[in-house]
Structure 1
Amino acid sequence: MGNMVIVTHWLDGDVIPFVRIGKELKQRGHDVTLITHCHFEKVAREAGLDFRAWDTPEEYALLVEEMKGNKTDNSKENSYSFENSEFKQRYESNETRLKEFNIIAECCKRKDTVLLCKNRSSIAAYLVAEKFKLPLATVMMNPAEIESMLLYEQLEGKNDLPRLNELRSAVNLSSVGSWLQWESSAKKTFALWPNWYDTASEEWPSKIEAVGFPLEKGKEETKKEVPEKFKVWLKKNPNPVVITGGTTKCINDKFYSSSISACGMSGKPTVVLTRYKEFLPKKLPDNVVWYDYLPLDMIMPKLGLIIHHGGMGTLSGALSAGIPQLILPCYVDRPHNANLINKLGVGDFLYPVNWQPDKILSMMNNLQDDQIKNNCMKYVLKMKNNVGITNIADRVEEMAKDKKYIYSINSQYKIPVKLSGEHTSNNSQPKIKDLNQRLSNEQRARLLVNLRRREESRR
């Protein structure tokens, strides 16, 4: 059996899928080590995994605060806390990457090691794989990551290259000539969604295999208790609405207040689900209750509607449960995900500028349409065939048996058409860069969604 080393960063949505994959590999008899933030040690140990931490509890608490997404007092108008120089120095500097390199390398001394890592943030894992000639697979967590990295190459790739090569030199690796060539050189890259959800992976320089959503099911599923108090409430209040912004503090200030007001106006029984009570109004409407935790996947089939932030875990769970989704997206991948859910016909979305209670209530009512409910049931059937965890575990096991998966720089790299100049003249590059600097995170995300729509209309 192999030595599987899994590397990831950030919050629940970027870590829990890897815990599930690691659990499946462990059940197949492999040794599995998860390397991530200390907050996830308990859940990793419960899954039977060995564990190494990047940080201390105090350092992780600081990370959670810094990833809120709120604008910082001393920043540019369109700059957010996770974009500033202090954040980048603390979590993305070469010094940090070298510390991570040493932690990962300690876990990779066996010849039968396979590395599985989150793309982009797991730079140190790429270096370890190349240095010690190990198989490496990278994982795309959501479709927007692909477009954001292509955009990053176009706008910042050349600027970031000297820093990358300085890091490579520190571990005695030769320089590379392209950030994107290096980033896309893993012999296996997996997308944690099915092809019917999105086909954006076709734009990446190397092949990406869509394996499906990383949902637990059947023997894989970790059973969690639903509180008795909630069971009693649910029996009296069938088909409630759930409002959740996920497990992160990276949420717009108006998300909870506006959606709670809308649900209060509706009179529908509503559950607000967040571990951060400070985001909520001091007094909730009579028809609204709050829980800091409920096993969402277990209660979803009992819901009438879910209002959420647009995270991949929440939307895939709702697809599996067959419930309509109202997404209030801001930041990172969420606007793109909201657009995809709308295209599937199982939900709709509102951008923050439209987060007024009356507009949210109107959309809640629209989502009770019979056609939307029929579409939801269609995707319940599709989701029955979703075996993302099994698929990725199968592929990782295959990698342990074949040397062709050992990481090396892709000598066959071709510049993606998007970046080759066919669509954009060199003269327009300064304008594009200037525009990017003036856009907020939300505006960038909306721009990516609109560009995606335009390209699809041409196909």
Structure 2
Amino acid sequence: MHIALAALGTYGDILPFLAIGRQLAQRGHDVSLYAPEPFRQSALRAGLDFDAICTEAEYDEALSAPELWHPRRGLVPLFEMMTSLAGRTMQWLEEKSVENLRLVVASPNAFGARLAQDKHGVPVITVHVTPFLIESRHDAPWLPGLPLQRLMPSRLRHWLGRGADRTLIDPVSLPPLNALRANLGLPPVKRLRYWWNSPLRMILMCPPWYVPPQPDWPRQLIQVGFPMADRLGDVGELAPTLETYLDAGPAPLVFTYGSGMRQGAQFFRVAVEICRRMRRPGILLAREAEQVPASLPADVIHVGYAPLSLLLPRCAALIHHGGIGTVAQALAAGVPQMVVPVAFNHFDDAQRLSRLGLGAVLRPQAFRPRRACREIERILASPAMIDARVAARTRMAADDGVEAACDEIERVATRL
């Protein structure tokens, strides 16, 4: 059968769809992916047909928006891009429907998939790769950049999240989206974060031990395990020079601020100083070399990309932004992790790790060499954290989220 995948975002958002698409293709299905242009080669290597939702220049422009990584103001450029691409996505799906399209699997930010569902009855499955976008009064996600949340009951966080919808998200996203819907003869959307979930099926790719299911979640939601897909990125193996570096000395600290970050210079400056003070080698993972100090100590290196599933088991600790894909890879490797959250879901995943005893959290304002060194030493030595990481690694090894997601996709497709 012909299945179309539509996704928008950075590596943590797109790689799970590549993994789902590859497995569906291996099961004999005809799979097409609609995603940003930089993921074309990865899609082709995975055996998928590919069309670009945006050009590489458009993608880089969106990621370079000055306020994109601000905890609150970053929502504006993010949702502006999502709504601007909704019409393109719907048109692409209309073209695919001529090719006997059976089912669409889409990220919640691929608004055009839901438009096609509302207008033409196209069956859609919404796939969430982070719990941050699943609303609940009982266990409301932590909001980016909001202080003192530890003192707030869940219902208050939920109320504040609804307020963010009314004051930040909906005013930016709904006017252009509803203008497009009016042209299609569709009624207006009143709440974006309610509408973007398909009423047919939702899949949350985070296991129940990490995100306990809530009684007020949508009835059409099911949970599967994490999508482990890092080897579908730029390269699938460690570079020979990186292998030589890892073989030459003690296990290094690894620092990354995510594949989409363009404003991480301060983070990497602190990272270098942490390595110097702790007398440990370090790896700075950053796609943009301009973020990394021009002059590095002999035992600190810059790497543009490396599969974390191969790198992390050979490292001492991971210090990162809190992207869900990075979190999952660290859990699978059993490596200590410290999160310095930036925006979006980062604060929520940082808090979940902390509650489970699986990592430490430092707000960006507190990420300074002395404080960070103290926290890293603590997570390296804590017996309770060591036991928690071992248990999490065992759970991760027994759970294949991509396979479970594909099983559910096929079940839905056979009932259509």
Which TM-score bucket, shorter chain as reference? 0.7 to 0.9
1:182-237: CA deviation from partner (whole Å, max 9, x where unpaired): 3344211011110111136544344421111001499x999823222222221221
- Counterpart amino acid of 1:388? G
What is the match of residue 277 of structure 1?
Answer: 289
Counterparts in 2 of 1:222 and 1:202: CA distance versus 1, 3 Å: farther
Q: 1:82 deviation in Å?
A: 5.8
Determine the structure 2 residue equivalent to 1:124: 112
Partner deviation per Cα, 1:216-259 (whole Å, 9 max, x = no partner): 499x9998232222222212213221111121125554221112
User: RMSD over aligned Cα, in angstroms?
Assistant: 2.8
Count of residues in Structure 1 that have an aligned counterpart in Structure 2? 390
Tell which deviates more after alignment, 47-56 or 165-174: 165-174
2:178 is equivalent to residue 190 of structure 1: no
Contact 2:53 2:89 in 1 (8 A): yes
User: 2:53: which partner in 1?
Assistant: 54
C-alpha distance in structure 1 between counterparts of 2:17 and 2:115, whole Å:
20
**AA matched with 1:378:** A
Amino acid at match of 1:276: E
Structure 1 residues 68, 260: CA separation in 2 closer, same or farther (over 3 Å shift)?
farther
Equivalent-residue separation in structure 2 for 1:260 and 1:28 (angstroms): 46
Change (3 A) 1:184 1:232: closer
Structure 1 outlier segments of 4+, above 6 Å: 220-223
- 1:260-409 to 2 correspondence within 5 Å? 260-369=272-381, 370-403=383-416
**Greater Cα shift, 189-198 or 109-118:** 109-118
Q: Return the alpha-carbon distance in structure 1 between the equivalents of residues 353 and 299 of structure 2.
A: 28
Say if 1:79 and 1:222 are closer, same or farther in 2 by CA, change over 3 A.
Answer: closer
Aligned residue in 2 for 1:109: 98
Partner of 2:34: 35
Aligned mates of 1:276, 1:158 — CA distance in 2: 32
Q: Name the CA shift for 1:55/1:298 in 2 (closer, same or farther; >3 Å).
A: same
Query: Taking structure 1 as reference, are residues 221 and 27 closer, same or farther at Cα in structure 2, changes over 3 Å only?
Result: farther
* Paired amino acid for 2:386: K
The residue aligned with 2:154 is: none
Deviation at 1:266, TM superposition (A): 0.4
TM-score (norm 1): 0.78
Q: 1:118 to 1:185 in 2, by over 3 A?
A: closer
* Counterparts in 2 of 1:214 and 1:222: CA distance versus 1, 3 Å: farther
What's the CA shift for 1:92?
3.9
Change (3 A) 1:290 1:165: closer
CA shift, 1:51, in A, is 0.8
Cα distance, 1:104 vs structure 2? 2.0
Supply the distance in 2 between the matched residues of 1:246 and 1:178 (Cα, whole angstroms).
Answer: 29
SS of 2:97's equivalent in the other structure is coil
Equivalent residue letter for 2:26: Q
Q: Deviations 1:36-66 (Å, cap 9, x if unpaired)?
A: 1111111001111011112223222222322
* 1:291 shift after superposition: 1.6
Aligned position for 1:97: 86
Q: TM-score, normalised by structure 2?
A: 0.85
Shift of 1:99: 2.8
Q: Please, which moves more after superposition, 250-259 or 121-130?
A: 250-259
Report the counterpart of residue 128 of structure 2 in structure 1: 140
Q: How big is each residue's C-alpha offset from its partner over 1:418-459, in whole Å with a ceiling of 9 and x where there is no partner?
A: xxxxxxxxxxxxxxxxxxxxxxxxxxxxxxxxxxxxxxxxxx
Whether 2:182 is the aligned partner of 1:169: answer: yes
CA–CA distance in structure 2, aligned partners of residues 400 and 350 of structure 1: 44
Assess if the C-alpha contact under 8 Å between 1:275 and 1:293 holds in 2. yes
Structure 2 residue runs without a partner (length 5+): 136-142, 144-160
Deviation at 1:158, TM superposition (A): 7.2
Within 5 A, what are the aligned runs for 1:75-94? 80=73, 83-84=76-77, 89=80, 91-93=81-83
Q: Do 1:254 and 1:355's aligned partners in 2 also have CA atoms closer than 8 Å?
A: no
Tell whether the 8 Å contact from 2:114 to 2:198 is kept in structure 1 after alignment.
Answer: no
Aligned partner letter, 1:397: E
Structure 1: segments with no counterpart, 5+ residues: 72-77, 404-459
Contact preservation (8 Å) 1:327, 1:347: yes
Task: Quote the offset at 1:271 in angstroms.
Answer: 1.3
Query: Are the equivalent residues in 1 in contact too, given 2:252–2:282 (CA < 8 A)?
Result: yes
Instruction: Write the distance in 1 (CA, Å) between the matches of 2:291 and 2:214.
Output: 36
Q: Could you tell me which residue of structure 2 aligns to residue 234 of structure 1?
A: 246
